[in-house]
Structure 1
Amino acid sequence: MRVAFLTPEFPHPKMGSSGGIGTSILNLAKGLTAAGHEVFVLVYGQKEDEVFTENTIHYYRIKNVKLKGFSRLLTQKKIQKLINSLVKNKALDIVEAPDWTGITSEIKPNCPVVIRLNGSDTYFCHLDQRPVKTLNKFRERKALQNADTLLSVSQYTADVTKELFSLQKDFTIIPNSIDLESFSRNEALAKQANTILYFGTLIRKKGSLELPLIFNEVYQANPQVKLIIIGRDASDVVTGNSSVWQMMQPLFDKAAFENVTYLGSIPYETIKEHINKAAVCVFPTFAEALPVSWIEAMAMQKAIVASNIGWANEVITDGVTGYLVHPKSHQQFAQKIITLLENEALSDQFGTAARKKVEEKFSITVVAQQSADFYKALIQ
C-alpha cells in the first residue's frame, strides 16, 4: 500500500521547525515502512520545491505559490496536481492530511482523502476560550465535510470537533504513537532526587503560567526541589507579550526561582537525558489533542503529574500510570508532585505501569497496524 501524508511541518533538517503534527507523522511513517508499505511525505510552505528519498520515505517539498489574494488557492491546486500525478503513475493509493486550517478544503484528488484530528485552530481556540478566525473555521469545516473519512487521535478531540462543526460524520479513534526503541529508560543515567522536569513549548495553553505557582507550593514543602524547564519560548496570544518566559519569571517566589533552570530549545537526545534523570515530569496543560510528550515520558518509565482535562484519561490512568489534576488547582497539583518525590516505590510503580500501557496502546507497531487496516478498508 502507498500512503501520502500532506502536512505543513515535518521534523527534518530541510523542512524548518516542527511540532506535534510532524512528530506524529514521522512515527507513523516509520511504522508503516517497517511493515512494508510505501510512504510519501508532502510538506507545503517550503522555501523551494524538492524531491528526495531518505530512509525509504519519499519527500516532496512544496513551495507555496505567491500571488496576492490567490496564494492559498493556487498552492492547493499545485498540491492537487502533484497528488493526481502520483495517483496516475500508480505511486499512490491514499492521502492523509491534518485538520489544522483545513488545507484540503479546495483539494479534490483522484484518491481517497483521510483527515486525522490532531486539533484544529477552531478546537484549540475553543479550549483556550478565545475567538477563532471565521475564515479558518469555514476552511476547517469544509475540509472535514469533503474528506472521505475521518480519524482522531483521541475520543475527546473527536467529540468536541463534531460538536463545534455540527458534523454528522463519525470518527475512528487511532492514537498518536512513539518509537519505543528511541524512548527507553537508560539505566546508566541515575534518577536525580527532587528534580522536576517540564518539557514543551512555553505557551499559555500548555499551562506555562501555572507552572511557577505550582512550583512555589512544592518549594515551600521541600526547599531542595529543583525545576528544569526545556522548550522553545513563544509569544502570548492574550497579552501580545513576545516572551512567555518573561511572563513566568515574576510569578516564581524569589527563593524558589533560584532553584529553576531554563534550558530553552535543545537537541532531542539531550532532552531524553533530562527525562531519564528527572524524578517527576509535569504537564499542567489546558489544550491538547493527544500529547506525544506525555507518551514519551511514560515510555521512559517516568512518574507524571498532568492535567486532568478532556483527553487526559485516554493517556494516563489516574492513580495507576500517573496523577491527573486540574492545572488551576495549584496546591493539589503540587501535593501530588510532593507525594511522588517522597515515595520512590510509588514513583517506580507508576513508571512501570506507564511503560506497559505505552507498549500496548501507543507503540508505532500497534498504531501503524491499526492505521494500515483502516486505510486498506477505505481503499477497498
Structure 2
Amino acid sequence: MHLGFVTSEYPHPRISRAAGIATSLKNLVDALVRRGVEVSIFVYHEKEDAVFTEDGIRFHLLKKRHYPILGWYRYRKHIAAYVNKFVRSDGIDAIEAPDWTGITAFMKLDAPLVIRFHGSDTYFCYLDGRVQKWKNKFFEKQAVKRAVAFIAPTTFAGQESAKLFGLPKDKVTTIHYGLNLADFRNEDPSEFTKYRLLNIGTIIRKKGVFQLAEMFSKLVAVEPRAELILIGSDSGDMKTGSESTWEVLQSHFSDEAKKRVKYVGKIPYSEVKQHIRDAHVCVFPSLAETLGMVTIESMALQKVVVNTNYGWAEELIDHGVNGYKADPNDTDAYVKIITDLFPSEQKTLEIGKAARTKIEKVFDMEKIVQTNIEFYEQIISR
C-alpha cells in the first residue's frame, strides 16, 4: 500500500509550520512506515520546492505561489497536477487531506480522496458561534464533495461535521488519534511540583484562556501557593482586534494571580514533555476541539487532567476515574476539583495511573494504525 498525505504542516526542520494536525499526522505516518506502508507527504505553502526522503518517508515541498488573478484556484490546480504526477509514477493508492479551509476544492485527483476531519473552519465557527467567512465555507464544502470517505478523531467531531456538511452519519468513520506510547514515559509520577497547574495550547479564545484566567484568579484567592504555567504560541484576538491575545488576557488575571502566572511561549516539544511531568494538574478548559492532543499526551504521562465537558471530551475522560470534566464557564467547578486534588498526593497518583491505563487501552498507536490500514484497504479495494 502507498498512501499520500496533502498537508500544510508537518514536524520537520525544513517545513515551516507544525501545529496540532502535524503532531497527529506524524504519529500516524511513523506507525504506517513501521508497518511497511509506503508514504508520500505533499506539503503546500512552503518556502521552496524540494523532494527528499527521510526515515522511509518521501517528502514533497511545494512552494507557495502568487498569481495575478484567481490565485486560490490556480494554486489548487498546481497542487493537483503535481500530486497526480506522482500518483501515476509512484503508484499512490489513496490520498488523504485535512478539512481545514478545503485545500482539495476543485482538485481532480487520480486516486481516491479521503478527508480527515481534524477540525474545519466550518466546525470551529459553529462551536464558537462565529460568522464564517463565505470563502472558507465555500471551499470546505467543495472539498467535501470531492472525497469518497471521511475520518474523524472522535464520534462527536464526526457527527457534527457530517451534520454541517450534509453528509450521512455513516459516511464518517471514527478513528482516534494515537500516541507512540514508548515516547511517553514517566518513570517517577510522584516527582512533580505541588500546586503547579499547566496549560498547553495556542493563546486564543477558543482554547478557553479567558475562563482559565478567571478560574486561576479564584484559585489563588483560596490557595496562594498555586502557580500556572502557560505554553504555546500567541495569536491575534478577533474580539478586540489586538495582535496579541496574551496582552489582552493579562488584564483578566487578579493582581495576586498575575504574580503566579508564567507564560513561556512556544518551546521545543522535548521541553513540553518535561513541563507535563513537573505539573501537579493539567488544565484544558477548551471551548472548541475535535479531540485535543495535549489531553491524551498528558494522560499518557500519568497526569491528572481537568478538561472541558463538551462532546469531544466524552471519549477521552471518564469523570472522576481517569481525569475530570467540567463546563469551562463554570470556573467554580474547576476550582473545587483542583483544591480537592492539591492536598491528596495519593488521589493525584491514582487518577494519573488510571489516565495512563485509559490511553493504553484506547489511544495506543500500535492498535490505531491497524485500524487505519484496514480502513484504507477497504477504500482501495472499492
Decide whether the 8 Å contact of 1:189 with 1:277 is kept in 2: no
> Residues 188 and 342 of structure 1: is their aligned pair in 2 closer, same or farther, counting only changes over 3 Å?
closer
Separation in structure 2 between the aligned mates of residue 88 and residue 330 of structure 1, nearest angstrom:
55
Separation in structure 1 between the aligned mates of residue 377 and residue 6 of structure 2, nearest angstrom:
18
Aligned-residue CA RMSD in angstroms? 1.4
Decide whether the 8 Å contact of 2:199 with 2:229 is kept in 1: yes
- Report the Cα offset of residue 138 of structure 1: 1.5
Opposite residue 290 of structure 1, the aligned amino acid is L
Name whichever of 112-121 and 156-165 sits farther off.
Answer: 156-165
Separation in structure 1 between the aligned mates of residue 376 and residue 167 of structure 2, nearest angstrom:
22
Match of 1:154 in 2: 154
Match of 1:5 in 2: 5
> In the TM superposition, what whole-angstrom CA distance separates every residue of 1:130-157 from its partner, at most 9, and x where no partner exists?
1001121111112112201111111111
Segments of structure 1 that go 5 or more residues without pairing to the other structure are none
User: Secondary structure of 1:114's partner?
Assistant: strand
Match of 1:23 in 2: 23
User: Secondary structure of 1:3's partner?
Assistant: strand
- Report the Cα offset of residue 316 of structure 1: 1.1
Match of 1:144 in 2: 144
- Identity in percent: 38
Separation in structure 1 between the aligned mates of residue 308 and residue 194 of structure 2, nearest angstrom:
23
Match of 2:336 in 1: 335
Opposite residue 153 of structure 2, the aligned amino acid is V
Match of 1:235 in 2: 236
Structural mapping, 1:264-303, within 5 Å: 264-303=265-304
Match of 1:67 in 2: 67
Separation in structure 1 between the aligned mates of residue 69 and residue 11 of structure 2, nearest angstrom:
30
- Report the Cα offset of residue 186 of structure 1: 3.8
Segments of structure 2 that go 5 or more residues without pairing to the other structure are none
Separation in structure 1 between the aligned mates of residue 340 and residue 115 of structure 2, nearest angstrom:
41
- Report the Cα offset of residue 126 of structure 1: 0.9
Whether 1:249 aligns to 2:247 is no
What TM-score do the two structures reach when normalised by structure 2? 0.96
Whether 1:131 aligns to 2:126 is no
Whether 1:81 aligns to 2:81 is yes
- Report the Cα offset of residue 88 of structure 1: 1.6
Separation in structure 2 between the aligned mates of residue 14 and residue 370 of structure 1, nearest angstrom:
30
Opposite residue 101 of structure 1, the aligned amino acid is T
Opposite residue 85 of structure 1, the aligned amino acid is K
Match of 1:118 in 2: 118
- Report the Cα offset of residue 376 of structure 1: 0.6
Decide whether the 8 Å contact of 2:106 with 2:143 is kept in 1: yes
User: Secondary structure of 1:377's partner?
Assistant: helix
User: Secondary structure of 2:318's partner?
Assistant: coil
Match of 1:166 in 2: 166
User: Secondary structure of 1:172's partner?
Assistant: strand
Decide whether the 8 Å contact of 1:30 with 1:364 is kept in 2: no
- Aligned length in residues: 380
Separation in structure 1 between the aligned mates of residue 177 and residue 165 of structure 2, nearest angstrom:
23
User: Secondary structure of 1:105's partner?
Assistant: coil
User: Secondary structure of 2:103's partner?
Assistant: helix
Separation in structure 1 between the aligned mates of residue 136 and residue 332 of structure 2, nearest angstrom:
38
Separation in structure 1 between the aligned mates of residue 343 and residue 44 of structure 2, nearest angstrom:
48
Decide whether the 8 Å contact of 1:174 with 1:370 is kept in 2: yes
Decide whether the 8 Å contact of 1:286 with 1:307 is kept in 2: yes
User: Secondary structure of 1:150's partner?
Assistant: strand
Match of 1:101 in 2: 101
> In the TM superposition, what whole-angstrom CA distance separates every residue of 1:6-34 from its partner, at most 9, and x where no partner exists?
00111111111221111111110011001
Separation in structure 2 between the aligned mates of residue 174 and residue 190 of structure 1, nearest angstrom:
34
User: Secondary structure of 2:105's partner?
Assistant: helix
Decide whether the 8 Å contact of 2:8 with 2:17 is kept in 1: no
Name whichever of 64-73 and 362-371 sits farther off.
Answer: 64-73
Separation in structure 2 between the aligned mates of residue 215 and residue 190 of structure 1, nearest angstrom:
23
Whether 1:193 aligns to 2:194 is yes
Whether 1:55 aligns to 2:55 is yes
Separation in structure 1 between the aligned mates of residue 9 and residue 301 of structure 2, nearest angstrom:
26
Separation in structure 2 between the aligned mates of residue 168 and residue 311 of structure 1, nearest angstrom:
19
Decide whether the 8 Å contact of 2:100 with 2:118 is kept in 1: yes
User: Secondary structure of 1:190's partner?
Assistant: coil
> In the TM superposition, what whole-angstrom CA distance separates every residue of 1:285-307 from its partner, at most 9, and x where no partner exists?
00000111101001000001011
Separation in structure 2 between the aligned mates of residue 65 and residue 192 of structure 1, nearest angstrom:
48
Decide whether the 8 Å contact of 2:203 with 2:246 is kept in 1: yes
- Report the Cα offset of residue 188 of structure 1: 8.7
Opposite residue 93 of structure 1, the aligned amino acid is D
> In the TM superposition, what whole-angstrom CA distance separates every residue of 1:104-150 from its partner, at most 9, and x where no partner exists?
11111111110010110011111111100112111111211220111
